Amino acid sequence: MATAQFLALSSSSSASAAARPRARRAAPSRVCAAGSALASGEPARRLAAEFDPAIPLASAVTPPSGWYTDPEFLRLELDRVFLRGWQAVGHIGQVKNPNDFFTGSLGNVQFVICRDANGKLQAFHNVCRHHASLLACGSGQKTCFQCPYHGWTYGLDGTLLKATRISGIKNFNKNVFCDNYLDGGYHVPYAHGALASGLQLQSYETLTYERVSVQRCESALAEQEDIDRLGTKATYAFVYPNFMINRYGPWMDTNLAVPLDATRCKVVFDYFLDESLLDDQDFIDRSLKDSEQVQIEDIALCEGVQRGLESPAYGVGRYAPSVEMAMHHFHCLLHANLSG
């Protein structure tokens, strides 16, 4: 039987540092990965101890049902079993050609496996070091990985190549939906192409008050129809801790982010328009369609960020000082409430 090469990969503590593969000879061909440890609780360890391997098979009983149903036990199993040994995650044929890549996860470890332009296999955490967004989904071919959130760009070895608008940072870092709203339009050109085309993003300005922040941007639309629909300026107001008001000319919508648990929330959308347009169904339909498109794009971003935040590769992020003032203001208000 012909032998085939497989790759053993270990996780790095840095989201952008590629794990260094070590080639061995074996059969069949697989790609394997190990991640860093997850926290586990004492109840799960007690549950593990309920099974006694010293009892002879003829007298032994199977593990308790909690081994198969308890979330804490699963976390312990991921920590002690899956993330401390080599695990199969794919096969060499998935990255047969230069620039091929695929993504996957093991517990809360999100990863990218790829073959660089020189034919070398690479692997790294699929998490942007900026605000924890996932860098890539699925599989395909790429010459680099650009974060869909704010455009940070990484090489096929996981090295950070470009961090947009990040000059002037200082060394200092929950609400994912609110953070997304408060980044000063930073993500708009990367995530909302249609919306970006109607705004003069260079005119974006942010004002912060005691418990409110206001972001404003001039319209870039030339056609009178679109000016009538979207107005000459977009205004986004955030009322701490979870209420957002978005105004485009005669159209306004609000977002209320209601927490459900640590990883889920409900966002309630309400829509308002000038009384003179209540019978203009075409205007209403177009405005709802545009709004829904932005929400779909934001939901995808926020879900990716949530998965990234749960990765052991991500700890804290950095602010882009020229645009993320409202986000920093929000975090300072949270800190004051939580530590006071």
Integer Cα distance of 42 and 48 in angstroms: 10
| pLDDT value of position 15 | 40
Pairing between β-strand 4-10 and β-strand 31-34 as defined by DSSP bridges: parallel
| pLDDT value of position 14 | 38
| pLDDT value of position 166 | 54
Q: Which stretches of the chain are DSSP H helices?
A: 42-49, 66-69, 71-80, 176-181, 188-191, 193-196, 224-230, 281-309, 325-339
Integer Cα distance of 216 and 213 in angstroms: 10
Neighbours of 337 (CB within 10 A): 10
Q: What's the alpha-carbon Rg for the chain, to the nearest Å?
A: 24
Ranges of CATH 2.102.10.10 domains, the chain: 4-162
**pTM, full prediction:** 0.60
Integer Cα distance of 136 and 116 in angstroms: 15
Domain 4-162: homologous superfamily in CATH? Rieske [2Fe-2S] iron-sulphur domain (2.102.10.10)
| pLDDT value of position 43 | 87
Integer Cα distance of 255 and 182 in angstroms: 13
Q: Per-block average pLDDT, block size 10, for the chain (340 residues)?
A: 45 38 36 42 85 81 78 84 77 92 90 95 92 93 93 91 58 57 68 65 84 85 47 83 87 83 81 85 85 84 87 85 88 80
Neighbours of 4 (CB within 10 A): 13
| pLDDT value of position 20 | 35
Rounded to 5 degrees, φ, ψ at 97 are: -110, 155
Rounded to 5 degrees, φ, ψ at 301 are: -60, -50
Ranges of CATH 3.90.380.10 domains, the chain: 176-334
Pairing between β-strand 139-141 and β-strand 22-26 as defined by DSSP bridges: unpaired
Integer Cα distance of 84 and 64 in angstroms: 24
176-334 CATH: 3.90.380.10
| pLDDT value of position 245 | 92
Which of the 8 DSSP states describes residue 37?
A: P
- Picking from 241, 264, 310, 308, the residue whose alpha carbon sits closest to that of residue 78 is 310
| pLDDT value of position 25 | 32
| pLDDT value of position 199 | 65
| pLDDT value of position 19 | 35
- 154: its two tokens: 């990484």
Integer Cα distance of 164 and 42 in angstroms: 43
First to last CA, the chain: 68
| pLDDT value of position 95 | 94
